[in-house]
Copies of this chain bind each other. A is one copy, B any other.
């Protein structure tokens, strides 16, 4: 039997520059929501070189809306294509789905970035830029794992399906469109930024919008009004208490290193219309984490009930209740048993590549894994080279060495999972 691991390692060493170059080109395309097409063109060109069967389509929002998992702030997906490449196996093996999102979150305040946010600059062994860690580095690892196997002449029994999807950052419409288009597999890997840990469970999440009411007045007699800003501060403290209560219930050891397993994040706040007036309305928008074992419906009910309790602190809310709206996006949680063969296969490959067993944890954030497992019924694990701590941060980066190692681990897992054809 050939020492495929040694061959793969040599191949990766030879192709390091090419790997970094593709990652830089990916990062340099600012693929925020609605601007994914330029980077997808580079993906398509790469899949063409790999001679995969290519499927490119703009998801049909009418079809998507029929599925209850669908959420999106968009009215259509024009000019935002999904791209899938399939490498057909010789038959008789398990298939694997390799899924990565190509959309990135906005860069935020440019003042916090050392370089231009989409520079793709290489410095101290890292590639910098929005999307480098979340998750273009992971996507590049998937593509080069396939390329390495092909160029080393390894033929597989099972199919390998690579998906470059839109909209993960806004609720997963891209991956849902792949599932609804019929893409299935015996297992899936999503190389989101796990810092090379294996995440067998992922936190789901939902977006909420809360409208807090006050009563306007002239700022010079502000005591005659009721400040919606002050009421919003009370409400935020109330939500901080809900976060404490919810997290106190999480006892899963997979979360032992996670300070807040299911956080409540207040992401935006906006209220008042005039500096000299008392604000009569504040709107806050945020994200609530959903534990892997929780049902979205139960979490919604818990929040609704909790909001009612704020009247105990301040009777203003009795007569001016906060309006709650679940809007925009949600991500289903995902759970895969740590004893599942896909976890075993990935863990074994990890240990062969790294020389020590992997850390298996639950992720503090949602991924498209919830859609793959809950809607697509595909056992899904999340594992990737990106750095959890810098995802959605200014000065986002990824270690080139991690990308190379993840590529090796994914290539080994594909071989083990799909099996080599005679």
Contacts and interface: CB of A to CB of B under 8 A. Distances in A.
A368 interface: no
A274 B221 contact: no
Contact of A392 (B106, B216, B236, B284): B216
Interface in A144-198: 169
A119 to B, nearest CB: 18
Interface stretch (A15-23, A285-293, A349-357): A285-293
A117 B109 CA distance: 38
B269 A270 contact: yes
Contact of A219 (B225, B265, B279, B284): B265
B263 A282 contact: no
Contacts of A232: 269
A105 B217 CA distance: 11
A112 interface: yes
A215 B112 contact: yes
A222 B263 contact: yes
A146 to B, nearest CB: 28
Q: How often does this chain occur in the complex, in copies? A: 2
A106 B273 contact: yes
Contact of A221 (B208, B236, B389): B389
Contacts of A233: 233, 236
A203 interface: yes
Contacts of A268: 271-275, 279
Instruction: Among A203, A222, A276, A286, find the residue whose CB has the most chain B CB atoms closer than 10 A.
Output: A276
A271 B277 CA distance: 19
A225 B363 CA distance: 17
Nearest to A171: B276
Nearest to A284: B229
A220 B280 contact: no
Interface string A275-312: 11111111011110100000000000000000000000
A64 B394 CA distance: 43
A388 B134 CA distance: 55
A198 to B, nearest CB: 17
Given A205-B276, A267-B279, A269-B271, A287 B220 contact: yes
A364 B225 CA distance: 14
A31 to B, nearest CB: 15
A193 to B, nearest CB: 9
Contacts of A271: 268-270
Contacts of A329: 275-276
Interface string A207-234: 1100000011111111111010110110
A321 interface: no
Instruction: Among A219, A224, A233, A328, find the residue whose CB has the most chain B CB atoms closer than 10 A.
Output: A219
Contacts of A328: 275
A259 interface: yes
A364 B221 contact: yes
Contacts of A417: none
A313 to B, nearest CB: 15
Nearest to A193: B218
A366 interface: yes
A360 interface: no
Given A219-B287, A229-B266, A275-B285, 4 more contacts: A223-B260, A224-B389, A267-B273, A269-B272
30 contacts: A105-B274, A108-B280, A112-B216, A203-B220, A205-B219, A205-B276, A207-B275, A216-B394, A217-B393, A219-B267, A220-B287, A220-B363, A221-B263, A221-B365, A227-B265, A229-B266, A230-B266, A233-B233, A267-B272, A267-B275, A267-B278, A267-B279, A268-B273, A268-B274, A268-B279, A269-B272, A275-B328, A275-B329, A276-B329, A280-B394
8 closest pairs, A vs B, by CB? Answer: A220-B365, A219-B265, A268-B272, A218-B392, A267-B275, A219-B287, A275-B285, A276-B287
